[in-house]
Structure formats: C-alpha cells, structure tokens
Amino acid sequence: MNEQMQMNNGYVSSTAPVGQLKTNKSLLKYVLLSLITFGIYGIVVMSSVSNDINVVASRYDGKKTMHYCLLLFLVGPVTFGIAYFVWYHRISNRIGGELARRGLPYSFSASDYWLWNILGAFIVVGPFVYYYKMFKAVNMINANYNING
C-alpha cells in the first residue's frame, strides 16, 4: 500500500488534501494569454498564486497574503504603487520559505524579485526570468501539497 495511505478501521485514509491545486502555470502561457485577453489572464494567474500560497502555507507560518485583485484595484493605486513592491517582496519570501519548509530543492526569495523583476527590467528579460522562477516554485509547492498535504 502507498506510504501516504493508512488503514483505519477498514477505511483507507490519505494525507493528501481533498482539493488539488493546479501545477500547470507557465511563463509562455502567462505571456501569450495575457496579451490575448488584455491582461485578464495575468490577473487570474496572479490571483491563483496568492490563493495557493495562502492554502499551502497559512497553517504553518500563520500569515495571510493579500489577494492580488485587492492589491491591483484598491491598495496599489491608493499607495501610489508602493504596495506592489511590498506585496511582491513578501510573497516571494513566503514562497521561498515554503520551499525550504517542504525541503524542495529550489531557491526562490525576495532577492529574486529585486534582482530579476526590478533591476532586471533594465535588460528587458529580467521580469520574464522572475515570473518563470515564481511559477516554477509555485508549481513545485502545489505538486508537493497535492501529494503530502
């Protein structure tokens, strides 16, 4: 029998969660579908990233990441854009912390945000590298969560 399953009073129980998180985020799909849908797909994907990290990590780190739509439509404009920097810094650190907590062999943190998304914008490809790394990290966390809970 599978390591993840245990026998309890004749019933098979699993540590895997009932709801499975998506593990198919990709940079190419993000860029192309965001262009085709005039940015709506990008909002949906980033909303799912904020939801996924809350589902996976909140019970362990006691934090809650602000929903991306709230940031995009309300908090970001009210703070003249400063909230975007804070939000991306925090979610990048939170994703990196969850990777480390789960023992996944991938490095991601707020330094990736500042180096690739902010400074890397000067070489144009930096933000693409950042989003690629973020999606890879979130996919790894979600895949691990789908198996281990």
Q: What is the pLDDT of residue 31?
A: 97
Which residues lie below 8 Å from residue 78, measured CB to CB, with a gap of 6+?
none
State the pTM of this model: 0.87
Beta-ladder partners of 13: 6
Predicted confidence (pLDDT) per residue in 29-82, tens digit: 999 999 999 999 999 999 999 999 999 999 999 999 999 999 999 999 999 999
- pLDDT > 80? residue 148: yes
- pLDDT > 80? residue 16: no
Q: Rounded mean pLDDT of 18-34?
A: 93
**CA pair distance 6, 101, nearest whole angstrom:** 24
CA distances (Å), 14 to each of 20, 65, 130, 141, in order?
Answer: 13, 28, 35, 18
**CA pair distance 48, 88, nearest whole angstrom:** 14
- pLDDT > 90? residue 92: yes
